Structure 1
Amino acid sequence: MGFFDLNVPYNQEEERSLKLIPATPEQTKAKTNRLKIVVKLMELGYSGIAYTRSIKSGTVLSDSDFCTIPLFPLSSLLKITPSLSSNVKFHKQLLGVPETSPFRQYTRLTINVDSLIQCSSLNSSNPVLKTYDLVAARPLNQPTFDHVCKYAEVDIIAMDFSQWVPFRIKYPILQAVIKRGIYFEITYSSLLSDVQARKQMVYNTKK
């Protein structure tokens, strides 16, 4: 069985560094940190990741939002780092993943949606969305949640249950999402360090 981390944050400063020569120390650090995350996931036997660019609520998509996320040439890492190659092989065997299966890299856009105007842009004819492998929407209120579930042409509906959820999740809505082949994503990273977040997530999940 293969595992994927489909929400590896992509730092916008790193993107800007592609246009600046030489890159600033902060931009170099952002790129290095992302590479460290990818290498660690490879070592643990993951089958792939998605680099996530997030769009703030209220933002209208424009030409500047076209995907420019650079992928790493990871095959060269395996060749020059024997220890990495052996760790990858070991964990793939534990997970039952074929050793020859490649480590896949995807691009993702996550849009924080707080208005129906933003919702209207979540369709297959939007040229910006076409440049990403995955598109996720994070609804922030009841109207946007209902609209995203029923009509938005996205791959993922992202939800953060570690905070108070400002909308009701009704069973008919869940059925509509499942019927359309869209997946829910529940953010769980804060559960590892915040007791209150754990309590809030358990409460929201039971609802």
Structure 2
Amino acid sequence: MTEPLTRTYKLRSGRITPGQQRALDSFADRFAIPPGDVLLDLPALFQREAPVVLEIGFGMGGTTLEMARADPSTCIIAADVHVPGVGALLRGLHEQDLDNVRVLHGDGAELLARRIPPASLAGIRLYFPDPWPKARHVKRRLVDARFAALAASKLAPGGRLHCATDWAPYAAQMVEVLDAEPGLVLEYGGPVERPEWRPVTKYEARGRAKGHEVADIFAVRNG
């Protein structure tokens, strides 16, 4: 996959707090993944052999921190395009002394396409991506047939793609494209009780407050 991917996110303006800026200045050397196009050496990145999960879009990082703390044996690559969130996550990793997360300031889909080795990930997490609700914007949604094929190519056999959304039309699209991808087996797609290991995100709480039903969707890599 060499052509540029469609941008599937909106850049938000937001003020960086002094604490977030200090974290960017002080902790990037320890936790951040530098930009580039070279394939990542995952064991070298985390300095150990361990299952690695990619989280695409982590907001302000609270969910990432909670999952990393609860499961220190799993390593997480967390990618987001918004600088305040990157700073907040770096600060949280330092304060909680967590060493199983590496952070990329950038597009997680591009990272997946260009820097993750084939068949190397134990999981991909995509929680409450932008639903692009207007009909003219549907083509900007991340989870389409192309993304499904890309995810299948990067997951190790038995690796799991986990998506969550509170936008019913997007949930239906996710189920359709993941079910159609030969490299994936759709495990479950639809409204379901939230898995206890997935923390409630800010966007999930906001959607539920509006009466939206949340869908968790799982697909597993063949082989």
Q: Same fold per TM (> 0.5)?
A: no
Query: What TM-score, normalized to structure 1?
Result: 0.32
Q: When the two structures are superposed, what TM-score results if normalisation uses the length of structure 2?
A: 0.30
Q: Which structure has the higher relative contact order (CA within 8 Å, separation 6+)?
A: 2
Q: Which has the larger radius of gyration?
A: 1
